[in-house]
Structure 1
Amino acid sequence: MPFLVLGLLLWVGAHIFKRVAPVRRAELGTSGRGLIAALIAAGLVLIILGYRAAAFVPVWNPPAFMVHINNLMMLIAVFVYGMSATTGRLRGKMRHPQLTAVKIWAAAHLLVNGDLASIMLFGTMLAWAVAEVILINRAGPWERPEPGPAKKDILLVVITLVMFGVITAIHTWLGVSPFPG
């Protein structure tokens, strides 16, 4: 569990640093990007190692039907995340598509994982995404980008379905089947 906690602290701290200490972040200059990226990467490695090594400590027992809700929420999360890269009509419909996707992802996983390590991981990621949105919104107004062609949104749907398939395949490969049965 210590690796998980340290990883989460690094992840959150490195991501929020420029929001809570913009002057200090600016003092680091462009070389600071490498440092922040290294801290985020180290945090991610520690999160993965810590989560995989954490003892299973049950906190609550999620009902079986939550798996279906989780899968639907995950499909939505992948789509919303993809909105950040689209140049279609959906561009500009949402200010924080990546952070919104993280919130959906975290909430979905909290519905199906009732152990302490999962609650720590997904709960922290949910709290981090909420905090980031608040900090970004307080920093200033948003200039909504102009929408592009609708055909790009169709491409987003196709990419979403492919990515969802890849994600479920990786989960299955890791021994966590998203479609138990």
Structure 2
Amino acid sequence: MTILIIGIALWYAGHFWKRALPARHAAMGEKAKGVSALILVVGIILMVIGYRGVESYDLVAYPAFLKHINNLAIVFAIYFMSPGPSKGALFYKMRHPMLTGFIIWSVAHILVNPDLASMILFSSLTIWAVAEIIVINRAEPEWTPNPKGTIAKDGMFLGASVVLTLIIGFVHGLIGPSPFGM
């Protein structure tokens, strides 16, 4: 569990150190991006190792239908993490579609993973994404949405999100539990 928590802490640090230590970040110039990337990669590796290494048990039993809600939520999470919202007509005024997609993804994983390690990991990532939205909005209050796109672009990216969900679900089933119950 310690490795998992260190990984989560590095995830937070890699994202927030620009705002927490602006003078240090600015002094590093372009190297700061590399430092951030390194911190994040190490954090992700530690989260994966920590998560897979924790002997965990389910805290509650979840109803089987939540797996279907999870899979549908993942389609929307992938859509919001795609260029679709900024290129389409439905969500072009949304300021943080990628973070919104991340929140949907992490909450969907909480729904179907009722064990302690999952609760810690996905809850921490949800809190991070909400905090990131708040920090960005406070630091950069002025924002202009992209020009309105077309419904066809929304449809194209939603269709691509369905295909990506199927591909990701297949790979997920090869390395862990299948989200499709196969």
TM score, norm. by length of structure 1: 0.91
Deviation at 1:57, TM superposition (A): 2.9
Find the aligned partners of 2:23 and 2:98 in 1 and give their Cα distance. 25
Find the aligned partners of 2:106 and 2:92 in 1 and give their Cα distance.
23
Distance 2:40 2:56 in 1: 26
- In the alignment, which residue of structure 1 is the partner of 2:21? 21
Partner deviation per Cα, 1:102-123 (whole Å, 9 max, x = no partner): 1111111111111111001100
Q: CA deviation at 1:19?
A: 2.8
Q: Which moved more, 1:83-92 or 1:112-121?
A: 83-92
Output the amino acid matched with 1:118: S
Q: Using a 3 Å threshold, how does the CA distance of structure 1 residues 86 and 169 change in structure 2: closer, same or farther?
A: farther
Amino acid corresponding to residue 74 of structure 1 in structure 2: I
Aligned letter for 2:103? K
Give the aligned partner of residue 64 of structure 2: 64
Rounded to whole Å, the distance in 2 between the matches of 1:47 and 1:41 is 10
Contact 1:86 1:153 in 2 (8 A): no
**Higher mean C-alpha displacement, 73-82 vs 86-95:** 86-95
Q: CA deviation at 1:130?
A: 0.5
Native 8 Å contact 1:102 1:129 kept in 2: yes
Cα RMSD of the aligned pairs, angstroms, is 1.8
Taking the aligned partners of 1:137 and 1:55, their CA distance within structure 2 comes to 38
2:88/2:152 contact within 8 Å kept: yes
Partner of 2:10: 10
Matched ranges for 1:54-133 at <5 A: 54-83=54-83, 86-90=86-90, 92-133=92-133
Q: Distance between the aligned counterparts of 1:87 and 1:56, measured in 2?
A: 42
Distance across 2 between alignment mates of 1:91 and 1:108: 21
Q: What stretches of structure 2 of length at least 5 have no aligned partner?
A: none
How far the C-alpha of 1:124 sits from its partner, in A, is 0.3
Superposed CA deviations along residues 51-99 of structure 1, whole A, max 9, x for unmatched, are 1111123322222221111111111111111146753334633110111
Q: Tell me by how many angstroms 1:13 deviates.
A: 1.1
Query: For residue 153 of structure 1, what is the aligned residue in structure 2?
Result: 154
State, as a whole percentage, how many aligned pairs show the same letter: 39
Q: How far apart in 2 are the matches of 1:19 and 1:85?
A: 26
Cα-to-partner distance string for 1:13-44 (whole Å, 9 max, x where unaligned): 11112233333321221111101100000001
The one-letter code of the counterpart of 1:104 is I
Give the whole-Å Cα distance in 1 for the aligned partners of 2:2 and 2:22: 29
